[in-house]
Structure formats: C-alpha cells, structure tokens
C-alpha cells in the first residue's frame, strides 16, 4: 500500500479519486486551498485513519513524504478560472513546478491531470494525442488553456532532464455527483435549471458538440494511467468518445427531470470550441481502458445528487 498525495483533492474529481484510492487500501493525503474544492466532498472521509486533509496552495512549495502524486489542483470551469486568471496560470505553472520538484526529491511517480482544452478550438476531429491544437494565446480562456499546455511542457522537460516518472492524461468533459452547482459547465447548468423549472440556456444554436464521461469511468482511467508501465508517459486522452449536441443533451435532461423548462438561446462565448471528441485509441491499446457508463445512466445519478443538494 502506498502513501499518495492528491492536489485539488477536495474538488469534484479529486474527492472521487480519494474514495477510490482509500477503497484500495492506500493512505491518502488530500491537499486543497478550497478555492473551488469543498470540504463537504470529503467530509465522509475525515474520520478514516487512511485519510488526511491539508489546506495548502500548490503555488507554494510543499514538503511531505509520499510515494505517488496526482496533480489535480486547478479551477476547471470558465466561471472559476476567469475569476482570477493570473492565479489560474500560477496554479498550473507554479503548481507543476512545485509538485515536480517534490516528485524529484522523493523519486516519486507523478501524474498530471491535463485537459482537452490543450487542443483549443480543434481543426482535427476527433482529437488525437499527436495533434498540437489551435489555442488563442491571448484570449479570455488562455489562462487555463496555456497554463495546462505549459504544465505539460514542464512535465516532459522533467522527464527528459531528470528521468522523472511522469504520467500526463488529457481529461475530456466529465460529469457526475459532486459537480459544483454554479460552475457554469453545461451538465450542471442544464440539470440545475431543469430542476428549478428555469429556462435552459443554450449558447449558439445548440449544434456544438461535447463528449461526456461519467466520473467513475474517468477515475478508473486515471488510476490505470498511474499504475501503467513507467515507459508510458502519455499524453493519453481519457474521455467518452460518444458525441452529443447541446440540444440533444438539453432534451435528455428535460426528459429525465420531467421539467417544464423551456430552451433559451444566447450568443456563443468567445473562443468556445465548436467540437470536442476524444480519440481514445491509445487508452484502449496502452491501458486497456474505455468508458462503460451510458450518458442516460450517468445523468440519472447526477440528477439524484443535485435534487438532494437543492432540497437541503
């Protein structure tokens, strides 16, 4: 059993990863500055002797003893990362430098939670890992997109320069229980609006597409990536390749919530990608991983979570 550090461990993905690793018998050190993370996400673990919670900002060095590091710290929704874009870039870049420095000192394996946003508004569809992307370096989303791109650069420079054991996974749209209700992501937006019988906001004409991976599938892929052979550095796409338009998603949410909400249309935000779909051929070949949860089944679980949250 290992002692494992998870930065951003009280966030949506991080808290599910804490659960999964503790279930496997590992000791988990959860580090979070609670900018978007929530103590409620890990409150059920507080009394578990295998769990430890630490308030810390990864833009500052951290001195702990661990065997593995999952670097998940960074606000991941446009509303949150655009709130303080300078801090967002610092979290990705300084955070990567600090965690890589820690991994180098400890000779620990380290995984970077990168993002499909490194592909920007892609000209290649679906996106393969060898595509370099089309990113606006000075746009309102650049703090996140370019921050994550720079973090990948740092990881591979540490790999080449210091022979550090790195893992880089590119996460595509993920949803499930513990999503932040006000993070501006399409799944949580649609569900909350539908449950409140408010108008469902669709940006553009609703034809833009996304691929939605249920959180349990994503965490399974993340753990497989960490435990894969040390020569498998990535980057590897982890996501669900089934593509849905925003209109299709809205109609499914309306059906599953039995909502009376109507659709309203607003202009598409600047630099918002028109398509997002992972090519997961590498994940299948290298990790023997592919998602199993269907969108309708995952949405039912997510709707149940939000229904409880809104009635409390």
The CATH number for 26's domain is 3.40.50.720
Flag whether 46 is in a domain. Answer: yes
pTM: 0.94
Q: Into how many domains does the chain fold?
A: 1
155/234 Cα distance (integer angstroms): 11
Flag whether 36 is in a domain. Answer: yes
Flag whether 267 is in a domain. Answer: no
Residues 179-223 pLDDT 10s: 988 888 899 999 999 999 999 999 889 998 889 999 999 999 999
Flag whether 264 is in a domain. Answer: no
Query: Is residue 29 reached through a cis peptide bond, with omega within 30 degrees of 0 on the bond before it?
Result: no
Is pLDDT above 80 for 271?
A: no
- Rounded to the nearest 10°, the torsion over CA 259, 214, 55, 162 is -150
pLDDT (0 to 100) of residue 308? 95
Give the range of the structural domain holding residue 283, as residue numbers without chain letter: 3-175+214-241+277-292
Q: What is the mean pLDDT of residues 116-124?
A: 91
Flag whether 181 is in a domain. Answer: no
281/290 Cα distance (integer angstroms): 9
96/100 Cα distance (integer angstroms): 6
Flag whether 310 is in a domain. Answer: no
Catalytically active residues are: 144
Q: What is the mean pLDDT of residues 157-174?
A: 97
Flag whether 246 is in a domain. Answer: no
234/127 Cα distance (integer angstroms): 14
Flag whether 141 is in a domain. Answer: yes
306/290 Cα distance (integer angstroms): 26
Residues 4-28 pLDDT 10s: 999 999 999 999 999 999 999 999 9
Under 8 Å CB-to-CB from 71, ≥6 apart: which residues?
7, 8, 58, 95, 96, 99, 110, 111, 112, 113, 151
């Amino acid at each position: 059993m290992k002692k494992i550090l998870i930065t951003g461990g009280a966030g949506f993905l991080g808290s599910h990863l804490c659960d999964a690793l503790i279930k496997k018998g590992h000791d988990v050190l959860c580090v979070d500055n609670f900018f978007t993370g929530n103590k409620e996400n890990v409150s059920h673990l507080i009394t578990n002797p295998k769990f430890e919670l630490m308030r810390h900002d990864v833009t500052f060095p951290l001195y702990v003893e661990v065997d593995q590091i999952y670097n998940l710290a960074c606000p991941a929704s446009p509303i949150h990362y655009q709130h303080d874009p300078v801090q967002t870039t610092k979290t990705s870049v300084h955070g990567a430098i600090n965690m890589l420095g820690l991994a180098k000192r400890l000779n620990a394996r380290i995984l970077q939670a990168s993002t499909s946003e490194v592909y920007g508004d892609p000209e290649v569809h679906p996106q393969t890992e060898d595509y370099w992307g089309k990113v606006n370096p000075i746009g309102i989303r650049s703090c996140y997109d370019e921050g994550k791109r720079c973090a990948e650069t740092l990881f591979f420079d540490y790999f080449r320069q210091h022979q550090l054991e790195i893992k880089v996974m590119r996460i595509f749209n993920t949803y499930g229980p513990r999503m932040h209700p006000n993070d501006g992501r399409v799944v949580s937006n649609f569900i909350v609006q539908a449950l409140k019988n408010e108008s469902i906001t669709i940006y553009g004409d609703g034809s833009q597409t996304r691929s939605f991976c249920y959180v349990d599938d994503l965490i399974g892929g993340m753990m497989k990536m960490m435990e894969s052979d040390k020569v498998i550095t990535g980057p590897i796409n982890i996501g669900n390749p089934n593509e849905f338009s925003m209109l299709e998603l809205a109609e499914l949410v309306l059906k599953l919530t039995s909502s009376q909400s109507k659709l309203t249309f607003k202009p598409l935000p600047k630099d918002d990608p028109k398509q997002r779909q992972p090519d997961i051929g590498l994940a299948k070949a290298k990790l023997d991983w592919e998602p199993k949860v269907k969108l309708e089944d995952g949405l039912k679980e997510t709707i149940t979570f939000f229904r409880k949250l809104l009635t409390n």
